[in-house]
Amino acid sequence: MLISYNWLKQYVKLSDSLTPEELALKLTMSTVEVEGVEIQGKNLENIVVGEVKKVEKHSDADSLQVCSVNDGSTDHQVVCGGSNVVEGMKVALGKIGSKVKWHGEGDLVELTKVKIRGIDSHGMICASTEIGLGELFPPKDKKEILDLSDLDLKVGLPLVKALGLNDAVLDIDNKSMTHRPDLWGHYGMAREVASLYHKDLKKYNSSELKKGKGLVIKVENKDQKLCSRYMAVALSGVEVKESPEWLKQKLIAVGLRPINNIVDVTNYILMDLGQPMHAFDARQLETIDKTGHDKRITVRRAENKEEFTSLDGSEYILDDSMLVIADEEKPVALAGIIGGLNSEIQNNTTTIIFESANFDATTIRRTATKLGIRTDSSTRFEKSLDPNNAELALKRAVELVLEMCPEAKIVSNIVDEKKFSLYAGPIELSLEFLNKKIGIDLEKKQVINILESLGFGVKEKKDIFLVTIPTWRATKDISIPEDLVEEVARIYGYNNIEVKLPEFPIIPPKRNGLRDLERQAKDIISMEHGYTETYNYSFVSPEWIKKMGLKIEDHIELDNPIAKDRPYVCTTLLPNLLENVEKNMHYTNSLRLFEVGKVFDKNHSGVRAEEKSDELLPRQDLMLTFVYSEKGSKTPFYEVSEVVSSLLDKFGVDYELKVSKSVSKSMHPGREAEILVGSLSTDVQGKEVIGFISELHPQVQIDLGIDERVGMVEINLNNLLKYVKDKMDYNPLPLYPVIERDIAFVVDKTIVHKDIENSLREVDEIIKSVELFDVYSGENIDRNKKSMAYHILYRSDDKTLESNEVDKIHKKVVKVLQKKFEANMR
């Protein structure tokens, strides 16, 4: 919202030495955020009212004229491209040394004497946009210069003086005052300013309304909850015309375009008191009787599918959650939001009906949102306005119309349908509580002064203040002692409060295991294994769910997704990670990506939705998911499996891989495994699956547009956490040397390494390690066979082994391999 400095001064006397910028800072620090201050007429030095004495064609350019412009004492030759320049015209003359924006764009440029197409030009005849007056004098076309002839200005006067441009406009961030309905007009803002500078606030004067004769307005309020007050009065003898200069200037200053005196008055009240009003053309309201003397206005909910055309010509379909103002036949206004085209003030309107009302904030907000209309009126009503303001506004509006139109008079009864009550307190506030919360030592007198300056009533009862709330703060803003703490502290000055540190006992905070695990896992996978962390959105598209072979019905759906194509909440991080793979593999040869994030499991329950309710939220476990793909890597499964091994080893977790029965259709059925943890001595039943290792199904991989095989791992960190051991095992350093023997053999392809390793480890206790170092299939090997080679380390804990002792056990090894795995030694 724009606030005019001069307008404020109408209500509060400010020191001449105070600058608008200082006021802006004060307001920002105590009340609302001022985003900028625009000083009117800034940079208008050396620009004066000039009179065009002579206009001649430029000899060398068709679109230019050579003008002689008088500045009150001398004539200046100026080359001008203005389309509308004529002799006798009063113009804004930019003399040498003045600053302008060429064609209203770019930075300010200081004028110097120049030659334009061979002819000297001493200055410039300015367009409004070139000197920052575009809003005040909107040009009709680009080449139009500012024509001041109508304004009866003295030639030679500096433009700033001639136009009375001495205001400053404060641009207030609307978001910073959503909780302050009282600040949406200049009078309310002036009250703050008066309080901040210890000045008096002028009383808001308006004369009483006296009912007149001719018309009877009957208002039927069908929904007092949505409309707590409805006031109306008719004026006839109104002459719709241009507003007086003072009014136009005020509206322009705060960014409103003057339209006609009646509309301008309602806009003035809007900006003055923050109370939206509406003026109807009385002719357009259907009457009850044939005489046209009885006007009935109904405040009612719209009918479903009722049509309404607003005064800007837009058409809307309404529903019964919305409130309208209607005559006998049709809605004439969308209550508190916008007037109807059918009852708009015309140039020949002579009888008007003013509406000044109060509407329910939520209804206004919801209607405005639903229909996509935001007006100055709806913006204010949705803040919960003080219904008392409606009366003040109506009185002042009538007063202004009567001033402007000498023929006008009230010709109706004064309607005031109201039903409202506001909580006025008193709030009990103790000085001790106040000082304790703020952290200062204020005296009673200071507190009383601050509260009273803001309009609060204060009575003392021992050490307690009984504080009554002024109506304009009582609609929603102030109701508890803490609210008063804010009032006192901000006027006192937040930054006058001494900055301190609280005294706390020195105790280390509790650690969160999951958070620690997450951090360690991220470190290991990124720092040790070269994986790069990515963040993806939590939302997925139905296409990807299908591509991944997951079920739509397992997914939670958003009611109002922003990306319409991604309405589902993820149950796995894989789809988005695979999308990353697809995109990145176009410009890299190898990719290692991981993400840690929550997934949302509709089918399992998580924490409580409320402390005392049995409702449980969906389970939201933290997943560590990673993918690996590299040009030429045929079995990335092993690479990612190795990472799992290193990771779980770091956490002291023993695990087993079990061939899994297809986690989803997107997995390679021959290359997927579940990661089992738990007590490994018991059977599979006692173990828990904490994740899987797999490769992307080759067909899915092609469908997704990925050229290379992709290894994928998902580990549920919530589940893993239960098995993480703080203390790792340690083995004392061996005392006796180790003897290494290698063994190579050919076995059937179905034989798995883990079984061989386990069997060999069991052969004898001097076998300390069985390490696979080569697997080969291809030339010279049967198609169903593979060659495997192991390092076997022998060591005794009691003595140095003799070669023949090792030979004996090694023979056993060969036997086991032959017997159990039908291995052919190489």
Partner 1 sequence: MQEKLKKLKTNALKAIEAVKESVALEDLEIKFLGRKNGEMTSLMKGLKDLKGDSKKAFGQLANEIKTAIEFAFKIKKEELNTLEIAKLLKIESIDITQPSLPKKERGHLHPITQEMRAVEDVARTMGFIVEDGPELESNYYVFESLNIPEYHPARDAQDTFYIKDNPDWCMRSHVSNMQVRLMQKYGAPLRAAHPGRVFRNEALDTTHGHTFYQFDAIVVDKNLNIGHLVGVIKEFLKAIYKKDVEVRIRPGHFPFVEPGFEMEMKVVFGKGKNAKTKWVEIVGCGLIHPNVLKEGGLDPKEWDGFAFSLGLDRLVMGKYQLEDIRHMHSGNIKFLEQF
CB of 617 to partner 1, least distance (A): 5
> To which residue do tokens 């904490």 refer?
690
Q: Smallest distance, Å, CB 448 to partner 1?
A: 19
The residue type found at 102 is: W
Cβ-based nearer residue to partner 1, 142 or 515: 515
3-class secondary structure, 636: helix
Least Å distance, CB 610 to partner 1, is: 5
Question: Min. distance of Cβ 428 from partner 1 in angstroms?
Answer: 13
CA 280 from centre of chain: 37
Q: Of 712-741, which residues contact partner 1 (CB under 8 A)?
A: none
Q: What DSSP string runs through 16-51? A: TT--HHHHHHHHHHHTS-EEEEEETTTT-TTEEEEE
User: Which residue of 87, 120, 200, 537 would you call a contact of partner 1, by CB under 8 A?
Assistant: 537
Query: Residue 549 in contact with residue 696, Cβ under 8 Å?
Result: no
Q: Does residue 529 interact with partner 1 by CB under 8 A?
A: yes
Distance of closest approach, residue 276 Cβ to partner 1, in angstroms: 18
Segment lying near partner 1 (by CB under 8 A), choices 150-158, 385-393, 480-488, 704-712: 480-488
Residue 591 vs 763, nearer CB to partner 1 = 591
- Closer to partner 1 by CB, 283 or 366: give it: 366
Binding to partner 1 in span 657-686, by CB under 8 A: none
**Quick one: DSSP state of residue 203?**
P
Q: State whether residue 544 is helix, strand or coil.
A: helix
How far is 767 from 318, CA to CA, in rounded Å?
A: 84
Residue 35 CB, shortest distance to partner 1, in Å, is 12
In the bound complex, what is the minimum distance in angstroms from residue 181's beta carbon to partner 1? 13
| Contacting residue, 515, 631, 725, 753, with partner 1 by CB under 8 A | 515
User: Nearer to partner 1 by C-beta: 167 or 630?
Assistant: 630
User: In the window 418-477, what residues touch partner 1 (CB under 8 A)?
Assistant: 436-440
Nearer to partner 1, 86 or 556 (CB): 556
- What Å distances lie between residue 247 and 258, 266, 280, CA to CA? 8, 11, 21
Q: Which is nearer to partner 1, 497 or 684 (CB)?
A: 497
Footprint of partner 1 on 327-366 (CB under 8 A): 362, 365
**Shortest spacing between CB 538 and partner 1, in angstroms:** 7
Neighbours of 421 (CB within 10 A): 8
What would the x/- binding string for partner 1 be over residues 619 to 658, using CB under 8 A? -x--------------------------------------
**Could you say which DSSP state residue 215 is in?**
B
Residue type, 752: V
Handedness of CA 692, 698, 700, 703 (dihedral sign): positive
CB of 594 to partner 1, least distance (A): 8
CB 52 within 8 A of CB 79: no
Find out whether the peptide bond into 387 is cis, omega within 30 degrees of 0. no
Nearer to partner 1, 293 or 529 (CB): 529
Smallest gap, in angstroms, from Cβ of residue 298 to partner 1? 25
Q: How far is the CB of 645 from partner 1 (least distance, A)?
A: 17
Closer residue to partner 1 in complex, CB, 236/375: 375
CB nearer partner 1, residue 472 or residue 600: 600
Using the minimum distance from each CB to partner 1, give the nearer residue, 63 or 362.
362
Sign of CA dihedral 552, 553, 556, 561: positive
**222 alpha-carbon distance from chain centroid:** 37
Rounded to 5 degrees, what are φ and ψ at 171? -95, 110
Amino acid 193 reads V
Q: Give me the least distance between CB of 358 and partner 1, in Å please.
A: 17
Task: Give whichever of 318 and 489 is closer to partner 1, judged by the CB atom.
Answer: 489
Site stretch for partner 1 (CB under 8 A), options 173-181, 254-262, 663-671, 730-738 = 173-181
Contacts with 432 (C-beta within 8 Å, 6 or more apart), sequence order:
463
Strands 315-317 and 710-716: unpaired
Q: Which is nearer to partner 1, 417 or 487 (CB)?
A: 487
Distance of closest approach, residue 516 Cβ to partner 1, in angstroms: 10
Shortest distance (Å) from residue 244 CB to partner 1: 37
Binding flags for partner 1, 539-568, as an x/- string (CB under 8 A): -----------------xxxxxxxx---x-
Which of 292/606 has CB closer to partner 1? 606
How far is residue 573's CA from residue 579's CA, in Å, rounded to a whole number?
A: 10
Closer residue to partner 1 (CB): 626 or 723: 626
Q: Please give the structure tokens belonging to residue 229.
A: 């007050």
The interface with partner 1 within residues 274-293 (CB under 8 A) comprises: none
Which window, 175-183, 234-242, 261-269, 816-824, contacts partner 1 (CB under 8 A)?
Answer: 175-183
Site string for partner 1, 482-511 (x = CB under 8 A): xx-xx--xx---xx-xxxxxx-x-xxxxx-
Q: Are the C-beta atoms of 490 and 442 separated by less than 8 Å?
A: no
Tell me the residue type at 212.
G
Shortest CB 34 distance to partner 1, Å:
10
How many chain residues touch partner 1 (CB under 8 A)?
A: 91
Copy the structure tokens of residue 523.
Answer: 């470190």
Instruction: Dig out the tokens for 131 from the structure.
Output: 């000197």
Quote the least distance from Cβ 706 to partner 1, whole Å: 14
Q: What is the footprint of partner 1 within residues 1-60 (CB under 8 A)? A: 28-33
Q: For residue 479, count CB atoms less than 10 angstroms from its CB and return exposed for 0-12, middle for 13-18, buried for 19 or more.
A: middle
Q: How far is the CB of 519 from partner 1 (least distance, A)?
A: 7
Interface stretch with partner 1, choices 409-417, 540-548, 585-593, 706-714 (CB under 8 A): 585-593
CA dist., res. 634 & res. 561, Å (int): 39
Residue of 5, 137, 359, 531 that binds partner 1 (CB under 8 A): 531
DSSP labels, 122-166: -SEEPPGGGGT-TTTS--SSTTPPPB-GGG-PPTTSBHHHHTT--
CB of 563 to partner 1, least distance (A): 8
Whether the CA torsion 474, 476, 479, 481 is positive or negative: it is negative
> Among residues 271, 268, 288, which one has the least CA distance to residue 279?
268
Residue 638, classed as helix, strand or coil, is helix
Looking only at residues 78 through 107 of this chain, which bind partner 1 when binding is defined by CB under 8 A? none
Token readout for 754 is 């883990």
Long-range pairs of 399-403 with CB within 8 A, sequence gap ≥ 24: 399/206, 399/207, 400/265, 400/268, 401/235, 401/238, 401/261, 401/262, 401/265, 401/352, 402/235
The C-alpha atoms of residue 520 and residue 518 are separated, in whole angstroms, by 6
Contacting partner 1 within 367-406 (CB under 8 A)? 369, 382
Based on CB atoms, which residue is closest to partner 1, 326 or 489?
Answer: 489
> What mask, x for binding partner 1 by CB under 8 A, covers residues 599 to 618?
-x-----xx-xxx---x-xx
Dist CA 599 CA 624 (whole Å): 10
Cβ proximity to partner 1: between 255 and 481 the closer is 481
Nearer to partner 1 among residue 457 and residue 606 (C-beta): 606
- Beta carbons of 310 and 341 less than 8 angstroms apart: yes
Q: From the list 77, 178, 446, 777, which residue makes contact with partner 1 (rule: CB under 8 A)?
A: 178
8 Å CB contact between 398 and 354: yes
CA separation for the pair 776, 753 (Å, rounded): 13
Between 242 and 523, CB nearer to partner 1: 523
CA distances from 74 to 52, 71, 98, 104, 145 (A): 12, 6, 17, 27, 21
Of residues 218-277, which lie at the interface with partner 1 (CB under 8 A)? none
Near partner 1 by CB under 8 A: residue from 282, 525, 673, 767: 525
